[in-house]
Structure 1
């Protein structure tokens, strides 16, 4: 858990140990963004003060591509201020804030976008993922259902609905959504991962292991994929297997912290258990 999403929420007390260890996969895949105080971040908003909205949007896109997310967010906000009735700055702002794990800011940006264009699927999906980050899976599910009702081939909406249902402890229903999305996007790594985790939460450890092994055997396998497989072994009580996989990417102390966390997860039940797993284990959706 891009981490699916996603759109990650601030770690809960019960997810801290896993967040520290599994963060390795996200950092390796995504790279570290420059800090908000960098010279690039400071220079771009200064240059935007006399520029028109189209120029500001180009500067923002360049900053986002370069990984300067704080600078990009400031520029997208500037573009919105210059042209309040334009939809693209708000969509881009929501996307950037979500990537910065600012769920509240992303939700606000997408809400404003929906006021301009209530039928915009990107805005409604983005709002759904932001609501997940804010621990509001019921409201998120409503957003994803609205998108899927308008377009049953929207695999991202179906996958998002699966996450929202999993977070409510409704794993069988979630799996139906992931499988429907996978029929539209066969082999999609994020959807396959999410289905595997959902199966594990439902106690279907063998099928979950098969699915996540497929991802781990891929030439493009990431540390996050391997550690999600370790997590499934941990949920199933297969401590040695979890430790063996964990050692592929993590230091011994991190592996031990994760093993302790898996034991804690095995004692949890219901939506709290689902949230503790899914908040940190998913890649972005």
Structure 2
């Protein structure tokens, strides 16, 4: 297990980046305790605190849940569950270094735990440490060969270092394990676009965009593909589903900047700043 310390900058503009776990601004502060009866929480055992944390997380109070998971971990530092849950919630709110530290503690307790291993590798991606992340994903896949999300994460890491053909093979391996997985298909499409196969990327993304459950980020990725291909009118039409005209103009300008950039710079803009590969 390697340790990553550098933080990454934000990805450029709308639609730049993989379908990864969503997060708030990097470095978001976690309160010491959520709103509520702090005295009762302070005297509660770890199982009770974990239940309170899970309830907070289910209600969408992820920062509050992280504070409670941290409390549970402090009470019982030898328990795997609180460490993994702390890493997961810190990743969601954008504290990549905190997530890496929490997952690292979990791995010291259970070196082969798949969720902890994947979470730690994803945190390294968010910290702009793709080569270290690739090593972790390879270890994950050696321990858990059926982990399609491990192939996705390894693909992201390889794309970030410019090994796009190898990345595409990882996404395809993942799709053989999980046919139709939207995250893998999105990331494969972005990788194809980075190597100039814009039509292939668009063919992959078009059915996903037509789905009634399609998320804005899927449409953003399709817009990015058309933007990189120089089809600004098509990109703008797609972006109008979710964004106002001022945001669209800014995004199209960013696409033009990326069109003139080197391949490594395009990859950095598309993949850097992402917190997790799930």
TM-score normalised to the size of structure 2? 0.88
* Contiguous gaps of at least 5 residues in structure 1: 1-8
2:246 is matched with 253
Structure 1 residue matching 2:35: 3-state secondary structure? helix
Give the drift of 1:271.
3.0
User: Any conservation in 2 of the 1:56–1:79 contact (CA below 8 Å)?
Assistant: yes
Within-5 A mapping of 1:25-104: 41-43=34-36, 45-104=38-97
CA contact (8 A) 1:196 1:207 kept: yes
SS of equivalent to 1:58: helix
Q: CA deviation at 1:116?
A: 1.2
Q: CA RMSD in A?
A: 2.5
Would the alpha carbon gap of residues 77 and 150 (structure 1) be closer, same or farther in structure 2, given more than 3 Å must change?
same
Deviation at 1:270, TM superposition (A): 3.4
Aligned length: 265
Q: Find out whether 1:263 has 2:274 as its counterpart.
A: no
Alignment of 1:127-146 (within 5 A): 127-146=120-139
Report the alpha carbon displacement of residue 247 of structure 1 after superposing the two structures with TM.
1.4
Q: Which moved more, 1:139-148 or 1:264-273?
A: 264-273
**1:22–1:280 contact (8 Å) kept in structure 2:** no
Paired with 1:207 and 1:190, the residues of 2 have a C-alpha distance of 16
1:124 equivalenced with 2:142 (yes/no): no
CA distance in 2, matches of 1:96, 1:181: 25
Could you tell me how far 1:75 is from its partner in structure 2? Answer: 0.6
Task: Return the alpha-carbon distance in structure 1 between the equivalents of residues 30 and 184 of structure 2.
Answer: 36
Of 152, 159, 181, the match for 2:152: 159
Distance 1:146 1:284, change over 3 A: closer
Match of 1:239 in 2: 232
| Aligned counterparts, 1:85-234, within 5 A | 85-234=78-227
> CA distance change for structure 1 residues 180 and 190 in 2, over 3 Å: closer, same or farther?
same
Higher helix share: 1
Alignment gaps of 5+ in structure 2: 1-6
Q: Is the 8 A contact 1:190 1:283 kept in 2?
A: no
Q: Deviations over 1:72-91 (max 9, x none)?
A: 11111110111111110000
> Shift of the alpha carbon at 1:153?
0.9
| Deviation by residue 1:35-56 (Cα, 9 ceiling, x = unmatched) | 9899x92216543101000000
